[in-house]
Amino acid sequence: MEVSEERVLGIVNALRGLSIGDVLAFEGSDPQFLVVKELCNALGDPGLVSVLVAMNSIVSYMLTGRGERHWSYFSSYFSRNKPNDVCSDFKRYVMNSPYLARGRGAKVSRVERFCRANLHVKLNGLMDLGEAWRLLANGLGSPMNNKTIVFAVKMLYYVHRACGVNSKPPVDLPIPVDYRIATLTHCSGLIKADPRVLMSRQSLVQEAWGWVSRLSGIPQVNLDALLWVLGGALIYSGFNVEEALRKLPRGVLRMQDKVQAYRRLMIELSVNCVSKGAGGGALG
């Protein structure tokens, strides 16, 4: 099992139609970013929002619905219910969220471990996202490249950006490998393997997208926003590229001069899963 240099170059060439400014503008339309911004506005406390978002990130696995809906529910819940005791109140949220029903007990245990490590105090107001990354990995006893750990750091970067805090994500932060990213890795031809197999080879998947990131000049944390949103649109449209384009956030579709670039990138991300002929097809 190896990374296809040909497919890396195909994706990189498609990305050349987008500047880093375009990618950041796209990121600002990411539904996950928008719900974090809503929570910033509702609570008015970037430190508290950072802690809540980190806690939600570490339980964001084996969801019983789409990730976008899970994050929207989270933001609405805490916008209405500002925590007094963040650990107890967050456990109550986990027990009640319809999106966290699968493996709920294990998720509560993970929150308890987070709180025993005093991360709800250490992360509140912490500006250094590299330090946050180290604290999360050590506190939860997980590898630095663990999916939920790197995802939590990405979401902390979103909190800082959405709440107006000036900080930068670690340059070496890899892409969190969830099923959506594993599916894109397969469908783009980057690695010839089933998505379920790729889920267990996250270091290899991160190596592949790290290669794309280096050659394109787009940091992995910003590349992830593109992949996650475009990947969701492709997956939920059966890899019909034209239908997937219509599913993109309205803020993205208003960038009329970039629609062709997104179309080309979606085609490159779909080569192994889109049917032949115009418009797209089904996952194969």
Q: Write out pLDDT tens, residues 22-53.
A: 888 888 888 899 999 999 999 999 999 999 99
Q: What is the pTM of this model?
A: 0.85
Percent of the chain with pLDDT strictly greater than 90: 69
Q: What is the pLDDT of residue 166?
A: 80
Q: What is the pLDDT of residue 253?
A: 63
- Per-residue burial over 91-128, b if 16 or more Cβ lie within 10 Å, else e, is bebbeebebbeeebeebbebbeebbebebbeebbebee
Q: What is the mean pLDDT of residues 1-11?
A: 94
What one-letter code names the amino acid at 224?
Answer: D
Label each residue of 58-88 as H, E or C: HCCCCCCCCHHHHHHHHHHHHHHCCCCCHHH
Band of residue 72 on the pLDDT scale cut at 50, 70, 90: very high
Count CA atoms closer than 13 A to 93's CA, side-chain side. Answer: 27
Q: Which two tokens stand for residue 222?
A: 């910003």
Count CA atoms closer than 13 A to 88's CA, side-chain side. Answer: 3
Q: What is the pLDDT of residue 255?
A: 66
CA distance 69 to 60: 12
User: At what angle are helices 147-162 and 129-140 packed, to 10 degrees?
Assistant: 150
> Domains (ranges, CATH) in the chain?
5-24+173-269 (1.10.1670.10), 31-162 (1.10.340.30)
CA distance 146 to 153: 11
Nearest to 248 by CA among 264, 232, 271, 235: 232
**Of the residues 22, 30, 178, 224, which is catalytic?**
178
Residues 79 and 38 sit within 8 Å (Cβ to Cβ): yes
178 is catalytic: yes
Q: Which two tokens stand for residue 170?
A: 């670690």
Q: Which two tokens stand for residue 253?
A: 């579709």
At 224-276, the pLDDT tens digits run: 989 988 998 899 899 999 998 888 877 666 666 788 888 999 999 999 997 54
**Of the residues 91, 147, 154, 258, which is catalytic?**
147
* Mean per-residue pLDDT of the chain: 90
147 is catalytic: yes
Q: What is the mean pLDDT of residues 1-12?
A: 94
How many CB atoms sit inside 10 A of residue 135's CB? 18
Q: What is the pLDDT of residue 248?
A: 81
CA distance 139 to 134: 8
User: At what angle are helices 31-43 and 220-235 packed, to 10 degrees?
Assistant: 110
At 195-235, the pLDDT tens digits run: 999 998 989 999 999 999 999 999 998 999 899 889 988 99
Band of residue 20 on the pLDDT scale cut at 50, 70, 90: confident
Nearest to 108 by CA among 58, 65, 67: 58
Q: What is the pLDDT of residue 69?
A: 94
Q: What is the mean pLDDT of residues 76-102?
A: 96
Residues in the chain: 284
Number of H helices, E strands in the chain: 17, 0
Q: What is the mean pLDDT of residues 159-183?
A: 89
Q: What is the mean pLDDT of residues 174-195?
A: 93
